[in-house]
Amino acid sequence: MANDPIQFTLNGKSVTLQTDPARLLLWVLRTDLELTGTKYGCGMGECGACTVLVDGQATRSCLTDLAAVRGKRVTTIEGLAEDGRPHPLQEAFDEHGGYQCGYCTSGMIMNAAGLLHAHPHPSRREIVEGMEGNLCRCGAHQRIVAAIESAATGTGRQP
Protein backbone atom coordinates (compact mmCIF):
# COMPACT_ATOMS: atom_id res chain seq x y z
CA MET A 1 0.00 0.00 0.00
CA ALA A 2 2.82 2.40 -0.76
CA ASN A 3 1.32 5.66 -1.88
CA ASP A 4 3.11 8.55 -3.49
CA PRO A 5 3.38 11.42 -1.04
CA ILE A 6 0.76 14.12 -1.57
CA GLN A 7 1.94 17.70 -1.46
CA PHE A 8 -0.26 20.77 -1.28
CA THR A 9 -0.22 24.24 0.24
CA LEU A 10 -2.25 24.54 3.41
CA ASN A 11 -2.90 27.99 4.80
CA GLY A 12 0.20 29.27 3.07
CA LYS A 13 2.54 26.48 4.13
CA SER A 14 3.56 23.45 2.15
CA VAL A 15 2.49 20.10 3.58
CA THR A 16 3.37 16.64 2.39
CA LEU A 17 1.35 13.66 3.51
CA GLN A 18 2.08 10.00 3.09
CA THR A 19 -1.40 8.57 3.11
CA ASP A 20 -4.15 7.07 0.98
CA PRO A 21 -5.05 9.63 -1.72
CA ALA A 22 -8.68 8.45 -1.60
CA ARG A 23 -9.10 9.79 1.92
CA LEU A 24 -11.39 12.74 2.33
CA LEU A 25 -9.93 16.18 2.87
CA LEU A 26 -12.41 16.85 5.71
CA TRP A 27 -11.08 14.04 7.87
CA VAL A 28 -7.46 14.59 6.98
CA LEU A 29 -7.81 18.22 8.05
CA ARG A 30 -9.66 17.40 11.23
CA THR A 31 -7.59 14.42 12.36
CA ASP A 32 -4.09 14.24 10.81
CA LEU A 33 -3.66 18.02 10.59
CA GLU A 34 -5.69 18.89 13.73
CA LEU A 35 -7.47 21.79 12.08
CA THR A 36 -10.88 21.38 13.65
CA GLY A 37 -12.45 24.65 12.50
CA THR A 38 -13.74 22.80 9.42
CA LYS A 39 -16.85 20.93 10.52
CA TYR A 40 -18.79 17.80 9.63
CA GLY A 41 -22.52 18.36 9.26
CA CYS A 42 -23.86 15.91 6.70
CA GLY A 43 -21.02 14.24 4.81
CA MET A 44 -22.80 14.55 1.48
CA GLY A 45 -22.41 18.10 0.31
CA GLU A 46 -25.79 19.22 1.65
CA CYS A 47 -24.89 21.62 4.48
CA GLY A 48 -21.64 23.44 3.74
CA ALA A 49 -20.24 23.15 7.28
CA CYS A 50 -17.08 21.58 5.80
CA THR A 51 -16.40 24.32 3.24
CA VAL A 52 -12.77 25.27 2.55
CA LEU A 53 -11.10 27.13 -0.30
CA VAL A 54 -9.19 25.19 -2.94
CA ASP A 55 -7.30 27.62 -5.15
CA GLY A 56 -9.69 30.31 -3.96
CA GLN A 57 -12.82 28.32 -4.78
CA ALA A 58 -15.32 27.31 -2.12
CA THR A 59 -15.17 23.52 -1.93
CA ARG A 60 -16.94 20.89 0.14
CA SER A 61 -14.15 19.06 1.91
CA CYS A 62 -16.49 16.15 2.74
CA LEU A 63 -16.70 15.35 -0.98
CA THR A 64 -13.09 16.10 -1.88
CA ASP A 65 -10.45 13.44 -1.77
CA LEU A 66 -6.84 14.18 -1.10
CA ALA A 67 -5.78 13.38 -4.66
CA ALA A 68 -7.91 16.29 -5.85
CA VAL A 69 -5.90 18.88 -3.92
CA ARG A 70 -2.47 17.64 -4.95
CA GLY A 71 -0.34 20.69 -5.78
CA LYS A 72 -3.16 23.11 -4.95
CA ARG A 73 -3.70 25.83 -2.38
CA VAL A 74 -6.06 24.86 0.43
CA THR A 75 -7.30 27.51 2.85
CA THR A 76 -9.30 26.72 5.98
CA ILE A 77 -10.91 29.08 8.49
CA GLU A 78 -7.69 28.93 10.50
CA GLY A 79 -5.75 30.35 7.56
CA LEU A 80 -8.10 33.11 6.51
CA ALA A 81 -6.58 35.82 8.69
CA GLU A 82 -3.66 37.59 7.07
CA ASP A 83 -0.65 38.84 9.01
CA GLY A 84 -2.53 38.21 12.23
CA ARG A 85 -5.39 40.44 11.14
CA PRO A 86 -8.81 38.84 10.88
CA HIS A 87 -10.27 38.68 7.39
CA PRO A 88 -12.94 41.37 6.75
CA LEU A 89 -15.54 38.60 6.64
CA GLN A 90 -14.53 37.40 10.10
CA GLU A 91 -14.75 40.96 11.40
CA ALA A 92 -18.12 41.46 9.76
CA PHE A 93 -19.60 38.18 11.05
CA ASP A 94 -18.49 39.10 14.55
CA GLU A 95 -19.74 42.67 14.24
CA HIS A 96 -23.16 41.81 12.75
CA GLY A 97 -23.79 38.72 14.87
CA GLY A 98 -23.71 36.40 11.86
CA TYR A 99 -23.55 33.34 14.09
CA GLN A 100 -25.34 31.82 17.05
CA CYS A 101 -24.16 28.34 17.99
CA GLY A 102 -21.23 28.94 15.64
CA TYR A 103 -21.14 25.44 14.23
CA CYS A 104 -22.01 26.45 10.67
CA THR A 105 -19.94 29.60 10.91
CA SER A 106 -16.59 28.42 9.54
CA GLY A 107 -18.35 26.98 6.50
CA MET A 108 -20.42 30.13 6.05
CA ILE A 109 -17.36 32.37 6.18
CA MET A 110 -15.35 30.14 3.83
CA ASN A 111 -18.22 29.89 1.37
CA ALA A 112 -18.61 33.67 1.49
CA ALA A 113 -14.87 34.06 0.95
CA GLY A 114 -15.17 31.92 -2.19
CA LEU A 115 -18.13 34.02 -3.29
CA LEU A 116 -16.26 37.29 -2.83
CA HIS A 117 -13.26 35.82 -4.60
CA ALA A 118 -15.46 35.18 -7.64
CA HIS A 119 -17.61 38.34 -7.32
CA PRO A 120 -15.93 41.03 -5.24
CA HIS A 121 -19.08 43.19 -5.30
CA PRO A 122 -22.05 40.87 -5.22
CA SER A 123 -25.63 42.10 -5.13
CA ARG A 124 -27.80 40.98 -2.24
CA ARG A 125 -29.39 38.51 -4.58
CA GLU A 126 -26.05 37.06 -5.62
CA ILE A 127 -25.15 36.67 -1.96
CA VAL A 128 -28.37 34.78 -1.24
CA GLU A 129 -27.90 32.56 -4.27
CA GLY A 130 -24.27 31.96 -3.45
CA MET A 131 -25.05 30.99 0.15
CA GLU A 132 -28.13 28.88 -0.65
CA GLY A 133 -26.33 25.57 -0.16
CA ASN A 134 -25.10 26.43 3.33
CA LEU A 135 -27.44 25.46 6.14
CA CYS A 136 -27.81 27.23 9.46
CA ARG A 137 -30.28 25.71 11.91
CA CYS A 138 -30.01 28.60 14.36
CA GLY A 139 -31.42 31.02 11.80
CA ALA A 140 -28.59 33.54 11.62
CA HIS A 141 -29.28 34.07 7.90
CA GLN A 142 -30.39 37.69 7.93
CA ARG A 143 -27.27 38.76 9.78
CA ILE A 144 -25.00 36.54 7.71
CA VAL A 145 -26.21 38.28 4.55
CA ALA A 146 -25.72 41.68 6.21
CA ALA A 147 -22.21 40.66 7.27
CA ILE A 148 -21.23 39.54 3.78
CA GLU A 149 -22.66 42.73 2.29
CA SER A 150 -20.71 44.89 4.67
CA ALA A 151 -17.49 42.94 4.16
CA ALA A 152 -17.92 43.25 0.40
CA THR A 153 -18.52 46.98 0.47
CA GLY A 154 -15.85 47.54 3.05
CA THR A 155 -18.31 48.97 5.52
CA GLY A 156 -17.38 46.35 8.09
CA ARG A 157 -15.57 47.72 11.10
CA GLN A 158 -11.95 48.33 10.28
CA PRO A 159 -9.43 47.99 13.04
Partner 1 sequence: MTDLVRPTPAPTGMDRRDFVKTLGGGVLVLVALPSIGVEPAAAQRRQYPTDVNAYLHIAQDGKVTLFSGKIEMGQGVETSLAQMAAEELGAPLSSFTVVMGDTASCPWDAGTWGSMTTRFFGPAVRAAAAQARLILTDLAAERLGVPRSALAVEDGVVYVARDRARHVSYGELARGQRITHTVDQKAVLRTARQFTVMGTSPKRLDGHEKVTGRAKYAGDIRRPGMLYARIVRPPAHGATPKSLDTSAAAAMPGVTVVNHDGLVAVLAADPETAAKALDAVKAEWNVPDPTVNAQTIYAHLVSAAPHGETVDAAGDLAAGRAAAAKTFDTTYYNAYVAHAPIEPHTSVADVRDGKATVWASTQSPFGTQPQVARALGIAPENVRVITPFVGGGFGGKSAGQQSVEAARLSQAVGKPVMVAWTRAEEFFYDTYRPAAVVKVASAVDGAGRITLWDYSVYAAGSRGSNVLYDIPNRRIRAFGQQSDTRGTESYHPFATGPWRAPGANTNRFAAEQQMDVMAAAAGVDPIEFRLRNTKDPRMLRVLRAAAEAYGWRPRAFPARTGHGRGVAFGEDVGTYVVHIADVTVDRSTGAVKVDRVVCAQDMGIVVNPDGAKMQTEGAITMGLGYALSEGLRFDGGDIKDANFDTYRFTRFSWVPPIEVVLVKNDDDPPQGGGEPGVINMGAVIANAIFDAIGARIYYLPMTPERVLEALRAT
**34 binding partner (options ligand FES, partner 1, none; Cβ < 5 to 8 Å by kind):** partner 1
CA distance 92 to 107: 15
Q: Closest approach of Cβ 33 to ligand FES, in Å?
A: 17
Q: How many residues bind partner 1 (CB under 8 A)?
A: 58
What's the CA angle centered on 159, arms 143 and 52, to 5 degrees? 55
Of 73-92, binders to ligand FES (CB under 6 A) are none
Q: Measured between alpha carbons, how far is residue 80 from residues 2, 53, 128 in Å?
A: 33, 10, 22
Of 46-65, binders to partner 1 (CB under 8 A) are 46-47, 49
Among 33, 106, 113, 115, binds partner 1 (CB under 8 A): 106
Among 9, 21, 37, 40, binds ligand FES (CB under 6 A): 40
Q: How many CB atoms lie within 10 A of CB 121?
A: 10
Tell me: does residue 28 bind ligand FES (CB under 6 A): no
Q: Quick one: residue 84, left, alpha or beta (phi over 0 = left, psi -120 to 50 = alpha)?
A: left
Among 24, 29, 35, 48, binds ligand FES (CB under 6 A): 48
Tell me: does residue 103 bind partner 1 (CB under 8 A): yes
**Interface contacts to partner 1, rule CB under 8 A:** 23-24, 27, 30-32, 34-44, 46-47, 49, 76-78, 81, 86, 90-91, 93-95, 97-106, 109, 127-129, 131-132, 134-145
**Interface contacts to ligand FES, rule CB under 6 A:** 40-43, 45-50, 60, 62, 99-105, 136-138, 140
